[in-house]
Amino acid sequence: MKGFKTIAIFNYSHEIVVIKHILDQEEIHYFFENEYIVSIDPLASFAYGGIQLKVHPNDFDQVQEILDNLNTKLSIV
């Protein structure tokens, strides 16, 4: 996954479920760095730098648009 860039950082593994689903549907290549270690030890998320969403530079703008749409459309009541 050389050349992939970090586009977002999450603190807990439950925060990435929806994003994974959307990226899979769009057939975008990605990976989450530290996903498994944070799921094992969630309190150490900050020590590991959180769960980092990494995407290929060619997909960066498309993923940024997806993340922006999620931030504006999702709200917790």
Sign (positive/negative) of CA torsion 55, 43, 41, 19? negative
Task: Count structural domains, the chain.
Answer: 1
Contact (Cβ atoms closer than 8 angstroms) between residue 64 and residue 7: yes
Segments forming the whole domain that contains residue 47: 5-73
The pLDDT assigned to 75 comes to 56
pLDDT for 17-74, tens place per residue?
989 999 999 999 999 999 998 888 888 888 889 999 999 999 999 999 999 988 876 6
